[in-house]
Structure 1
Amino acid sequence: MELRRFWWWVLLVSVQLGMNGCFGCWEQERIALMQLKASMINCSYGNHNFASWDSTNKESDCCEWERVKCNITTGHVIQLDLNQVCSWSPLYSESPSWYLNASLFLPFEELKYLHLRDNFISGWVSNEGFERFPMLSKLEVLDLNGNNFNNSILSSFSAMASLKKLDLSYNNLHGAIIDIREFKAFSSLEELYLMGNWISGFVAIKELGALNKLKQLRLDDSSIDKSFLHMVGVLTSLNVLTMSHCGFSGSLPAQGWCELKKLQEIDISHNRFDGILPSCLANLTSLQVLDLSYNHFNGNIALSQLSSWTSLEYLSLSNNDFLNPISLSWFFNHSNLKVLLNENNKIAFEPNSHGGTPTFQLEFLIMSNCSFDGLKRTPRFLQYQYDLQVVDLSFNNLVGKIPTWLVENNTRLVCLVLMNNSFTGPFRVSNDIRPNIRYIDIAVNYIEGPIPANFSLIFPNLEYLNMSNNALQGSIPSSFGNLVSLWILDLSKNQLSGTIPMHFAVGCYSLAFLKLSYNNLSGQIFPTNSNMTALSYLYLDNNKFSGKIPKSISIVSYGSIDFSNNYLSGMIPTWMGNMSGLNLLSMAKNQLEGPIPFELCKLDLQLLHLSYNNLFGSIPSCSNLSRTEFLYLNKNSLSGLIPSSLILNTSDLIGLDLRDNHLTGNIPHSIGSLPSLRILLLRANHLQGRIPIQLCLLQTLNMLDLSYNKFSGPIPHCLSNITLKASFQEDDLRGLSSGLGSTNSFLPSLPYFETKYTTPPDEEFPRIHWGASLNVKPEAEFTTKRITYSYKGDILQYMFGIDLSCNRLVGEIPPELGSMSNIRALNLSHNSLSGPIPVTFSNLKQIESLDLSYNNLNGKIPLQLTEMTSLAVFSVAHNNLSGTTPDRKNQFGTFDESSYDGNIFLCGPPLQNNCTKMRPPSTMPVDNEGEEGDIFMDMGVFYISFVGAYITVLLGIVAVLFINPYWRRAWFNLIEVCIDTCYCFVVVHYHKLFNYRSA
């Protein structure tokens, strides 16, 4: 009987499976899926998110569709992955929003996992919202991360007793408080994510106790009040609490959260906590992960409660003010510790430290940029580590032989970063193969000797190698060609010599970035048969390469090329115009000749640097330079006009340098159409005409050099419109971005981080401290203080100067120039300027160099100029100035006689002639500005005296003629003779002229 009943149930199950499981998903769920597809098709961008959802093919099993997962036994849909179905597109001017019909999910009675992340859902269709969701009685995971839900969504959660994980992160939950009572229906909730919302606190905090099964609470990127830490202790089951980037400040509270004895993970990084760690933290004996980074905690870490956390596996103390004993003896008993991140703290020397052996075996150790106090050698405890995968001891100024024993002791080592220390000696390791090492950075040390010839045999899987800024000698090993996985190689700033090996150029086909700058390499700039098809960034500048530019470099079709400061010759090849992906091309300081090929106009470059060559001919009228930011053509023999079309088509231009050529004509009026221009250098050409007022439209200009030309006319008053502010953006100065993405992307995949911890912060990976080694920084030369300086990179945003010297400018100096308060250098010398020195120049508080020499300036030197306390160079020599020199105070006490030469009417120190002819101050007239009048003659007195004398003489003559009749008759006879003589002269000459014309 029992056997018969058994087979009866087998038959029923078989029939059920035959009706459903064998023939795919349930029909009503198939229909519901198609309705979902129809509701989302408007924002799914070409329906690519539902490519496999086929309603026409009845044999298509919806359980096999992408984004759908079914129970293998019943055939019911148990998981829907609808993440990023309606993701944002640049076509939108702002983030899109749409409303979803929640009732479409009701047919999925067995649904357990519903993911709607990053869909910009603003809510639900009216009466079809979460009030329908209680019918999904088996729903365990609901992911609404990255939508536009507001606080009203909270009231929709009711009777969802089966829910275990709820993610409402990065929505629009906002307000000073959020009512936690809305969550009390979730009696089974274990994980609650509220990250990235605009909430700052909770009400009905006691209701948190209803969430007695909650194990994970993530509140990162919110504005939760610190008082929450006092109250969170009611969540007795909590084992994960993360509150990074919440804006907390002050000291950590000593009550509340210390009662969470089951806590295994705490993340309070990126806040503003300060003070020492509270003693109550000793209660958290189950702690495995602790992240205190990016705060202001202080105190001796050895005296804190950390020594009692023997379960710790991951500890981040980075970027605080902790004091750390160098031996790490306070962690010797932490046998579980695997990850220690301790950047930007102070490392203290322990005079009485014991020589014990630590019980822990670290896998990740980051101790970069620590201020080692008293000890400059590699920490001794590292000699007992054998499981290290990542070591970063960069920026510590450690001394001694480079610790290659770290490589030999740790066979699992993946990443070694020792850059920016003072290690010496050769880089030598044993011949044992290290297949795991993929990342080595030992730049900026004093490592010497040759690169080991068997380098590629020891590190066959190397992907990143930076040995720059050392004292390496010899040649590049040919065996480097065996590093088929090598992606990044930087050997710049060493003493390497020889040529680029052929085998290296052929074998490293994965190489994307190659930097060999500042060495003594010679020969052909690049081997003819190069196989580096992935190469995008090639920096060979400042070497001794010679010959013509080989066509083998055409493989660099994207990225940057810098061949500057070599001995390249010949013409610029026209085929370079086909390297369409280049964004930077620098071939300055070579011996290139001939015209600039018009084909270069096809390149959409950000920077073109062809300075210091022998190029001639005219500048091409390019029309495809819309992205060009820096154009350097100075120090050549270019001639002709500055093309207007070139300026009109470079709207993003930041720097234009055409100095020291043979250009003629005027500055195009189109120059005013460059709103981003900050550097304009046209020095030493044959340009003429007036300085165009269109220059006044360049309000972001930092440097203007028009010296040594033939400009005439007055200085435009409106030049004062140039604000001379630090207008460079950070992105402008990094330049010309490498395009290689985040520096962390160079790091190898580190499984421990990926699997052990759910959200490892990117900051904790060792960085590639290249600075600008990936870029060619913008630069400019400018003459100030009688010396030509080269300004490069960040310093450009602090240099403001105008040089109009050695032209034919006339008229007075505009007083408005005194409003350019940030200017550091102003040179108007060697012109024909006249009039007085503007008193407004006293407002130039930042100016360091002012040269007004060799002009026709007159009047007195304003005494207020002594207020320019930053002035280092001052010259008004060879003008027509008069009066006394300024008082010998502030900077003017440092200027010698040469600053005033050639002004014969100037007197006073430091000149030899004194001012003895000056009237007493009490009798000297005062002008409108309150200054003393001219020391030689008052012009008003002169005019009055002249008129009085004239009237007196005239009256005297009349009186004499009236008294003496003889003189009176003689006077009238003389007058009559003069009148007759003049009359005859006019008549005779009139007749002669008339007769001549008639003839």
Structure 2
Amino acid sequence: MVNLSQVVNWPNKVLMLPSLIHLSLSDCRLISTTTSQLLSMINANSSSQLIFLDLSWNYDLMETHNLDWLTHFSSLQYLDLSRVNLSQVVNWPNKVLMLPSLIHLSLSDCSLISTTTPQFLSINANSSSQLLFLDLSENYDLMEPHNLDWLTHFSSLQYLDLNGVNLSQVVNWPNKVLMLPSLIHLSLSDCSLISTTTPQLLSINANSSSQLLFLDLSYNYLTNSVFHWLFNATISSLRTLNLAENQLVGGIPKYFWNLCALEYLTLSYNNLNGSLYEFMSNESSCLVDSLQDFHISNNRFIGSLPESIGNLSNLQTLDVAQNSLTGVITEAHFSNLTKLKMLYLYSNSLILRFSYNWVPPFQLYSIYLSSCKLGSAFPKWLQSQKNYYQLYISDAGISDIIPAWFWNFPPRLTYLDMSNNQLHGNLPDLSSSRLDDFASIDLSANRFDGSIPLFPLNMASLDLSNNRFSGPVSFLCKLNTPMLLESLNLSNNTLSGELPDCWTYIRDLIVLNLANNNFYGKIPDSISSLESLQFLHLSNNGFVGNMPMSLQNCSELITIDLGANNLFGMVPPWIGNNLPNLVILNLRSNQLYGRLPLSLCRLSHIQILDLSLNKIEGTIPECIYNLTAMSHTMDTISSAIYADNISRGSYTDYASLVWKGRELVFKNSLRLVKMIDLSNNKLYGEIPEGITNLIELVALNLSRNNLSGLITPKIGLLRNLQSLDLSGNQLYGEIPMSISNLNFLSQLDLSANNLSGKIPTGTQIQSLDASAFLGNPKLCGSPLPNKCPEDLHPNYINTQGHKKENDDDGFITKGFYVAATLGFIVGFWGVCCISVLNIRYIMKRLISNVRMILA
């Protein structure tokens, strides 16, 4: 693991050593420019005695045609090119497999592709006939149909590893693989094997693979027919059998007891069920004396654990975790298990009931008893265990003070988890405790009190959250020495005082959670030294001042949670400019003011944006549609950004959010939450239409602002919306019909606006409470009690121009009635005028006639 990337002409310096027979350059960052030196400098005599060559984990080493230099190593027996990219190397099988002395070849994860497999078929029967070990694992695209015929040339092969190679389309693979006469180790894990190939397994004769010692068929799609083959083939020599993560159902077949050499059996992660008593009833079997590792975790077994498990006198690992086992475990279960090293009983409903002075006959390395009930007293039998490096007794019902003898840890302690009990009392000074480097301690969710003591410097993770610790956190500075700490969780205590300004001693910190305490003062600038920080939780304290500009140096930040403090100033533009990985930004309930910076629109990974309960003014930026993580499904980069990068384990982030009017904590489902909450501010203007591009939003809260304008007709595009709150604004106009398309909407609040018209009909809308629409006097229709005019008089045309019921004349519009009214007026006055003129004409004629008579 020496970096040779900058070393010039290293092949001449190394490979010309006249007596060299063993050369290992694994993970030396060798690059392709050095391979040309190999070609030009190695003559036919150089390094001819080399027997062992390891160039693994130098991914960028090879170029096209660059394996010709291998032909000079005629004595080579061991060649390891794992994790070297060979995807562009032409005819590599002939270059590698023609080495006359080669017996061990490892090409794991070399990006080999199926176009090279025809070259396998061209290899004659004499090539590599001495090969004993072949590892082609993690080359998923290597195989094509019918391409395993080349295996018949390797009659001496004893070890074959094809883990992670896709064999789903390979015809008759069992006959090609299991008929190798010398094979003793076969790994076919994660090869996409399916149950349709199992009839071929059954057709293989009883003598095939009779010498097989190791068989791994885990992480495939095999069904129970694989059981029938195993026992028809009479592989009596089998020592290791791994069938984990398949599709096995029912109970464990009793004929496993006939495999007298079996030492390792794992059936974990299947759908096996029933009681274990049936399987454990054969006490006279030879398997009782041979079985060393027994793994059946993550199945559906019920009932109690039989006492006969104690008859497996050579058992070293017992793993029955994550089933539905019940009942009591007593000393009788372990009476003969003198060799037991690993005990996994967690995630069952088992009760461990031992006598107070019981001394187990074993010394355990791993103790996993979480969720089992150990009794209220601290388990005294642990005092006899001197070698454990993993102890998990969380949620075990213990309500006691931890005895002094317990703190004298075994020297290799790596994991200690006693969370979710009712342990109480003060913790002692643990700074001199013997912990392994990068150890992890979790004492969360108990009732410990007093001040936080000193802890060892070589810890990676410390979780003391949800206790009753008080006082300052000065223990971080007392040693004035750099710590290895990567995760520190002290949330939900009663800690107080100002934060110490010594964060330069914890430069590797990835998680810092001090939420829900009584800290006050300014956030110290030295926090900028936490360049690896990804998760920062300081909410619900009394911090004051501006958000420290130094935080912009923490460019790896994924979560910033500073809600419920007394921070003031503007939302800083550097959040959008300098924190490209930000997924959660929670600044809720502070004293922030000013306009929202446009740089927030650069947060392409943001999934939770909560700036509610501040004094932010101005308009919502039009560029909000650039928050692209809210417009894509969860296969985006923002979902993968939660990395398992704590040295001893992983960290699952959480967020405390106001969801449908209640404050809830999201943890396991956090990646599914995409929300914007800008409520209780002083925002004005219209809601930008671009917000409807964020189609993966599940919650949108813009309530209690001064927003105006219409609700965009495109609101129905937010198809995943479950909660929408636009109440307490100045929105007007009709509620868009498209809102009835929001099929997942279970919380809607449009109250206290100036909306008008009829509430759209839809299953979701009418099932909501009427309070969602109150404070809009011009709104009508269900679920409000006041009906719309057209609902009161359905058979008549109302003043708004609605059609009479059953009226199908599409031409009768509002314009029609206006024209008709004007026509009536003109016609009426026209008739009147004509009538007046006619009367005047008649009167004139009548007067004329009267005058003629009188004359």
- Given the two structures, how large is their TM-score scaled by the length of structure 2? 0.78
Partner of 1:100: 67
Aligned twin of 2:149: 180
Shifted more, 468-477 versus 920-929: the winner is 920-929
SS of residue in 1 equivalent to 2:404: coil
Question: Does residue 229 in structure 1 map to residue 174 in structure 2?
Answer: yes
The answer to whether the aligner puts 1:781 opposite 2:657 as a matched pair is: yes
Deviations 1:349-390 (A, max 9, x none): 479x78696153211121111122x63646953343111111
Alignment match, 2:42: none
1:693 CA displacement: 1.7
Distance in 2 (CA, whole Å) between partners of 1:781 and 1:568 is: 21
* Partner of residue 314, structure 1: 264
Aligned counterpart in structure 1 of residue 300 of structure 2, from 346, 353, 368: 346
The verdict on how the C-alpha distance between 1:259 and 1:299 changes in structure 2, with shifts beyond 3 A counting, is: farther
Q: What's the offset of the Cα at 1:308?
A: 0.9
Match in the other structure for 1:767: none
For residues 94 and 735 of structure 2, what CA distance do their matches in structure 1 show?
Answer: 84
Distance in 2 between residues matched to 1:738 and 1:840, nearest whole Å: 40
Query: AA paired with 1:521?
Result: F
Moved more, 289-298 or 856-865: 856-865
Equivalent residue, structure 2, for 1:243? 188
Residues 927 and 47 of structure 1, relative CA distance in 2, 3 Å threshold: farther
CA distance in 2, matches of 1:280, 1:254: 8
Whether 2:612 is the aligned partner of 1:683: answer: yes
TM value normalised by structure 1: 0.68
Letter in 2 for 1:191: Q
Aligned-partner Cα distance in 1 for 2:780–2:102: 95
Partner amino acid for 1:781?
L
Of residues 623, 646, 650 in structure 2, which corresponds to 1:739?
646
Instruction: Give the deviation of 1:234 after TM superposition.
Output: 4.5
- 1:654 pairs, out of 574, 579, 583, with 583
Distance 1:575 1:830, change over 3 A: closer
Amino acid at match of 1:53: V
Kindly report which structure 2 residues correspond to 1:836-875, keeping only aligned pairs within 5 A, or say none. 838=713, 841=716, 846-849=721-724, 851=726, 855=730, 857-858=732-733, 865=740, 870-875=745-750
* AA partner of residue 178 (structure 1): N
Matched, 1:82 2:64: no
What is the alpha-carbon distance in structure 2 between the residues aligned to residue 132 and residue 642 of structure 1? Answer: 64
Shift of 1:566: 1.9
Quote the RMSD (CA, aligned, Å). Answer: 4.9
1:471 paired to 2:422: yes
Q: Report the AA paired with residue 795 of structure 1.
A: L
Q: Deviations over 1:894-914 (max 9, x none)?
A: 534773455268478752679
**CA deviation string 1:714-766 (max 9, x = no partner):** xxxxxxxxx3755665755736x54316x4xxxxxxxxxxxxxxxxxxxxxxx
Question: 1:814-870: CA deviations, max 9, x gaps?
Answer: 799599586555656775746699597599685444556664635699699498574
Within 5 Å, which residues of 2 pair with 1:259-274?
259-260=207-208, 261-274=210-223
% identical aligned pairs: 19
Conserved 8 A contact 1:819-1:840:
no
With over 3 angstroms needed to count, the CA separation of the structure-2 counterparts of 1:959 and 1:788, relative to structure 1, is farther
Give the alignment of 1:763-782 within 5 angstroms: 774-777=651-654, 779=655, 781-782=657-658
Q: Which residue of 2 aligns with 1:518?
A: 466
**Residue 363 of structure 1 aligns with which residue?**
316
Q: How does 1:135-284 map to 2 (within 5 A)?
A: 136=100, 139-143=102-106, 147=110, 148=112, 150-157=117-124, 159-160=126-127, 163-167=130-134, 169-170=136-137, 173-178=142-147, 180=149, 183-184=152-153, 189-191=156-158, 193=160, 195=162, 222-223=167-168, 225=170, 227-229=172-174, 234-250=179-195, 252=198, 253-256=201-204, 258-260=206-208, 261-275=210-224, 277-278=227-228, 281=231, 283-284=234-235
Deviation at 1:281, TM superposition (A): 0.6
Tell me, what secondary structure is at the counterpart of 1:448? coil
Is the partner of 2:432 in helix, strand or coil?
helix
**Which residue in 2 is equivalent to 1:18?**
none
> Cα offset for 1:413?
1.5
1:482 matched to which residue of 2? 433
Distance 1:396 1:633, change over 3 A: closer
Cα pair 1:465 1:490 within 8 Å, conserved? yes
For 2:7, the equivalent position in structure 1 comes to 46
Deviations 1:766-787 (A, max 9, x none): xxxxxx6x3543x263464x55
In the alignment, does 2:597 pair up with 1:668? Answer: yes
Q: Are 1:794 and 2:669 matched, yes or no?
A: yes
Structure 1 residues 284 and 405, CA, compared in 2 at 3 Å: closer, same or farther? farther
Aligned mates of 1:249, 1:113 — CA distance in 2:
34
Look up the SS of the partner of 1:82 in the other structure. Answer: strand
* Cα distance in 1 between the residues matched to 2:96 and 2:440: 56
2:627 paired residue among 698, 701, 706: 698
**Is the contact made by 1:907 and 1:915 (CA closer than 8 Å) also made in structure 2?**
no
Distance 1:534 1:819 in 2: 41
Alignment partners' CA distance in 2, 1:278 and 1:497? 59
Q: Does 1:498 align with 2:450?
A: yes
In the aligned structure 1, how far is the partner of 2:634 from the partner of 2:106? 46
Task: Give the SS at the match of 1:691.
Answer: coil
Residue aligning to 1:755: none
From the superposition, tell whether residues 888 and 851 of structure 1 become closer, same or farther in structure 2 (CA, over 3 Å): same
Unmatched 5+ stretches in structure 1: 1-41, 69-74, 198-219, 605-624, 702-722, 744-771, 966-999
Task: State the one-letter code of the partner of 1:362.
Answer: L
1:481 aligns to what SS in structure 2?
Answer: coil
Instruction: Pick from 314, 330, 339 the counterpart of residue 282 of structure 2.
Output: 330
Contact map agreement 1:166 1:192 (CA 8 A) in 2? yes
Give the counterpart letter for 1:267 in structure 2. Answer: D
Distance in 1 between residues matched to 2:185 and 2:528, nearest whole Å: 58
Change (3 A) 1:157 1:143: farther
Q: In structure 2, what is the Cα distance between the partners aligned to 1:853 and 1:431?
A: 60
Report if aligned partners of 2:726, 2:750 keep a CA contact under 8 Å in 1: yes
The alpha-carbon distance between structure 1 residues 642 and 330, as it changes in their structure 2 partners (threshold 3 A), is: same
Structure 1 residues 104 and 694: CA distance shift in structure 2, 3 A: same
Name the CA shift for 1:164/1:567 in 2 (closer, same or farther; >3 Å): same
Shift of 1:293: 1.4
- CA distance in 2: counterparts of 1:355 and 1:85, whole angstroms: 47
Larger Rg: 1
Listed as ranges, the gaps of 5+ residues in structure 2 are: 26-45, 808-812, 842-855
Give 1:911's aligned residue: 785
Letter in 2 for 1:81: F
Cα deviation, 1:298-343, whole Å, max 9, x if unaligned, reads 2322x43101112211111111223464453336632011111111
> Is the Cα–Cα contact under 8 Å of residues 312 and 336 in structure 2 kept in the other structure?
no
Asked if 2 retains the 8 angstrom alpha-carbon contact of 1:394 and 1:421, the reply is yes
CA contact (8 A) 2:346 2:368 kept: yes
**Residue pair 2:460, 2:485 contacting (<8 A) in 1 also:** yes
**SS of the residue 1:62 aligns to:** coil
Amino acid across the alignment from 1:269:
S
- Evaluate the alpha carbon distance shift between residue 952 and residue 686 of structure 1 in structure 2; reply closer, same or farther with a 3 A threshold: farther
Query: Which stretch of the first structure deviates more once superposed, 942-951 or 460-469?
Result: 942-951
Note closer, same or farther for the CA distance 1:953–1:422 as it changes in structure 2 (3 Å cut): farther
Other structure's SS at 1:555 match: helix
Tell whether the 8 Å contact from 1:226 to 1:248 is kept in structure 2 after alignment.
no
Cα distance, 1:47 vs structure 2: 5.6
Deviations 1:479-525 (A, max 9, x none): 67332447221111111112233xx43xx233222211111112231
Which piece of structure 1 moves more, 234-243 or 336-345? 234-243
Opposite residue 298 of structure 2, the aligned amino acid is N
